[in-house]
Amino acid sequence: MAGELNNSQNWALAYQEYKQAIQATPQGGYYPLPAFEVPITFSSKILIAKTVSTIPAGKRWKWAGNLRAFQTFPNAGINSQKSEIQSYSLFLNRSKLLVLPEIASGYELVLSDAFWLRDLQLTIYEFTGQLDNELNQLVQSIQGDVLRIESKIDAL
């Protein structure tokens, strides 16, 4: 069943937004890109987040920001409560498999402000296929491997 993740029919485009920085001064200063507040409550635990920037921010910028997942508590009154449950570091012009923990039934995503970028597109694909026990175990093992690799890269 591991092929379910490789089947393009099991993925749906859930969100896509492009933002471009507005020039603040004639000398070239720009207002920072605001955060991407994804206006969707996701129920799937498996997503792919992709970032694309077409205006170079310099050779040293390879980071697109932190994508944070918040569990929502809709019955908490007018000002609904949110709790951060996971954070993912996203790199420019790359895709990242996101596997959220089973503790949340629904969650929202926010990509932090990117003051160093002049433009950014965020695209989120949602896994719509069936998760059986074998696939769920495979996804959990991949998530551990990805976290281990990221920590080694960060240590460099």
Whether residue 20 lies inside any domain: the answer is yes
Average pLDDT, integer, range 49-60: 80
Q: What is the pTM of this model?
A: 0.77
Give the number of domains in the chain: 1
Q: Give dist(CA 75, CA 105) in Å, integer.
A: 13
pLDDT in tens, 72-117: 766 655 556 678 888 999 999 999 999 888 776 778 899 988 888 8
Whether residue 118 lies inside any domain: the answer is yes
Q: Which helix (H) or strand (E) holds 90?
A: strand 81-91
Residue of 4 and 138 predicted with greater confidence: 4
Whether residue 35 lies inside any domain: the answer is yes
Q: Give dist(CA 148, CA 128) in Å, integer.
A: 27
Over 70: is that where the pLDDT of 61 sits? Answer: yes
Q: Give dist(CA 133, CA 47) in Å, integer.
A: 18
pLDDT in tens, 115-128: 888 899 999 999 98
Q: Rounded to whole angstroms, what are the CA distances from 152 to 58, 95, 145, 148?
A: 24, 19, 11, 6
Average pLDDT, integer, range 123-140: 74
Over 90: is that where the pLDDT of 14 sits? Answer: yes
Q: Give dist(CA 24, CA 13) in Å, integer.
A: 33
Domain extent at residue 121: 12-128
CA dihedral 8, 12, 15, 16 (to 10 degrees): 40
Whether residue 7 lies inside any domain: the answer is no
- CATH code assigned at 20: 2.60.120
Q: What residues have CB less than 8 Å from 88, skipping those under 6 apart?
A: 49, 66, 67, 68, 69, 96, 98
143 token code pair: 């998530």
Whether residue 153 lies inside any domain: the answer is no
